[in-house]
Amino acid sequence: MAEELKLFRTWSSRYSLRVVNALKIKGLEYETILEDLQNKSASLLEYNPTHKKVPVLVHNGKPICESLLILEYIDETWKQHPLLPQDPYLKAMARFWAKFGDDKVLPSIWSVFISQGQEQEEAIALAAGNLKFLEELLKGKKFFGGETIGYLDLAFGWMANLISILEEIVDLKLVDRKIFPLLSEWMNSFSDDPVIKECWPPRNKMVEKFKAMREPYLKELHETEVMQFSLSS
């Protein structure tokens, strides 16, 4: 029976990109449904009624939601090119760090991106603390997964793509090669991988999108400064 595999995603979603990469690594054929998050399709709402988000993988009519869970599902269903380690302890570590990435690293990087002045200084320190853990993880390894790209590399993949874009917009080094040599090297190795390279969303579009996302925060700060000035004068 032919497998029916569909992926609901957006052109830029970093969570969707994890699944795109995983499907590519496993050599799987699938149909892409591109969603407009301002105008979600009835199918997306039907397949993910709880969160109404992308990505959603639909396999023979059955929907799987949450990108990290989708990666595990893909790995358990198609055994070629394993993404997760076999050893229970290493597997637990991969799951732990992937969650840390989403719960702590990403929000801390985002805070640096949207803040300014003193607040940004503090955000930078917090982000650096988080990145230090990742730098440690890479000791003696080319990828988080070892010799080849695995689950944890895909989980952190957004960094290899997004960090340089955010750095360009805020004109600030978030991952300094001198402080994070292993992480910087990993970002290059990951980006240069032929499977990963093919799937990157267009950079100019990304810069435009994130510049626009930053605007309201800049405006807010400007208004606060004006208020403070007028109160003190």
Partner 1 sequence: MAKSASVQLLGSWASPFSNRVQLALKLKSVEYELVEEAFYVSKSDRLVKANPVYQKIPVLIHDEKPVCESLVIVEYIDEAWTGKGPSILPSDPYERAIARFWAGYIDEKLETASGDEEKFAVVGKVLEGFALLEEAFAKCSKGKAFFGGDEVGYLDIALGCFLGWVKVAEIIGGGKLLDESKFPGLAGWAERFLSHDVAKDILPDALKILEFFGKVQAARAAATTAAE
Q: Which residues bind partner 1 (CB under 8 A)?
A: 50, 59, 62, 64-66, 69-70, 72-73, 76-77, 88-89, 91-93, 95-96, 99-100, 104, 133
Nearer to partner 1, 136 or 198 (CB): 136
Nearer to partner 1, 86 or 232 (CB): 86
* C-beta separation of 13 from 54 below 8 A: yes
Nearer to partner 1, 133 or 222 (CB): 133
State in angstroms the smallest separation of the CB of 53 from partner 1: 12
State in angstroms the smallest separation of the CB of 202 from partner 1: 31
Sequence-distant (6+) residues with CB within 8 A of 59 are 3, 4, 5, 73, 77
State in angstroms the smallest separation of the CB of 190 from partner 1: 22
State in angstroms the smallest separation of the CB of 57 from partner 1: 9
Is the link from the previous residue into 194 a cis peptide, with omega within 30 of 0?
Answer: no
Write 211-214 long-range contacts (CB < 8 A, 24+): 211/169, 214/113, 214/114, 214/169, 214/170
Which of 114, 113, 112 is closest to 217 using CA atoms?
Answer: 114
**β pairing state of 5-9 and 31-34:** parallel
State in angstroms the smallest separation of the CB of 74 from partner 1: 9
Nearer to partner 1, 11 or 73 (CB): 73
Nearer to partner 1, 100 or 110 (CB): 100
**N- to C-terminal Cα distance for the chain?**
76
Q: Which three-class secondary structure state does DSSP give residue 60?
A: coil
- Provide DSSP, 63-79: EEESHHHHHHHHHHH--
